[in-house]
Structure 1
Amino acid sequence: MFGKLFKKKEEVTDISLVAPVSGVLVALEDVPDPVFSQKMMGDGVAVKPSNGEVVAPIDGKIVQVFPTKHAVGIMADNGAEIMIHIGLETVSLEGEGFTAHVGEGDRIKQGDKLITFDLQVIGEKAKDTVTPIIVTNTDDMSEISVEDKKEVTAGQDEIVIVKK
């Protein structure tokens, strides 16, 4: 009788990340920055953006919006920690060209708008516009696999499978 009432909530183990930004998928090893290409921050993939909108790749919670708004951290429902880093060496722009639409602690759904950015400003003033999507706690996950695609659409195309 009370079975459903006291039933333990099922734990989420496998998740799929959709592209947080539209553009061309780039292997992490091909990102022109050793911190990302050598997977010092974790495993994942990158996108060379075709527009300036970043959406949530997964349901979860915002754990960090960098003060310069160039990166955002998300805790996925399976415990995966996802960081989206817009462009390379963009911290030096001190927020120029970036607008955050979420804050720390916000609950988000896949496809929600997170950050908008001026692609032209980033292209002119940063090292590169390529945007890494990293699972920063890779060691806590059992498998991270990247989908084999060329062009991706934000909020639609699956790009990474993360298994706990």
Structure 2
Amino acid sequence: MLKDLFKKKEEVKNITLVAPVSGELVSLEKVPDPVFAEKMMGDGVAIEPENGDIVSPVDGKIVQLFPTKHAIGIQAENGAEILLHIGLDTVNLNGEGFTAHVEEGKKVKQGDSLLSVDLDVIREKATGTIIPIIITNSDAMSSIKTKDVKEVTAGNDEILIVEK
């Protein structure tokens, strides 16, 4: 019985991300911003959203919620650091159109609500609504594979497999 207390927890190596928002899955190279398209922040994919309901793509912990709520960082169980960047040039909105449902340090399960976003505000006041999903520590992962799907449903459809 006591030996069970001291067993090493099995390390999670591979994780699968589900879509954090419903919409059209597009390659990162098609994002009209060189920081994302040229993978300067890391590898990943993007989704052109059909609504503003953002959910967690993985089980993990919220490690960063930007004060402007336009981006959120999650650390997955295998150590992958995931950045969800909502729209382009949305930092300039200073939080307008964003409602956070989590805070830094909170543990989340795949499918938990993270943010609500008013896409009309983003369309009107920012450059674009596309949502890059970036593995910011891509170099620490052994592989990042994009699933071959076009339309995705939030919390349901797999979009990335990240292996450590």
What is the percent sequence identity of the aligned residues?
68
Q: Residue 102 of structure 2 aligns with which residue?
A: 102
Deviation at 1:69, TM superposition (A): 0.3
Q: C-alpha distance in 2, partners of 1:5/1:125?
A: 54
Query: Does 2:50 align with 1:50?
Result: yes
Q: Quote the Cα distance in structure 2 between the aligned partners of 1:100 and 1:6.
A: 38
Q: Identify the residue that residue 63 of structure 1 maps to in structure 2.
A: 63
The match for 1:79 is 79
Task: Provide TM-score, normalisation by structure 1.
Answer: 0.98
User: Which amino acid in 2 is paired with 1:123?
Assistant: R
Offset of residue 148 of structure 1: 0.8
- Where structure 1 has 5 or more consecutive residues not aligned to the other structure, the ranges are none
- The 5 Å alignment of 1:1-164 reads 2-164=2-164
Question: With structure 2 as the length reference, what TM-score do the two structures score?
Answer: 0.98
What letter matches 2:121 in structure 1?
A: V
Aligned partner letter, 1:85: H
Q: C-alpha displacement at 1:151, in angstroms?
A: 0.3
Secondary structure of 2:88's aligned partner:
coil
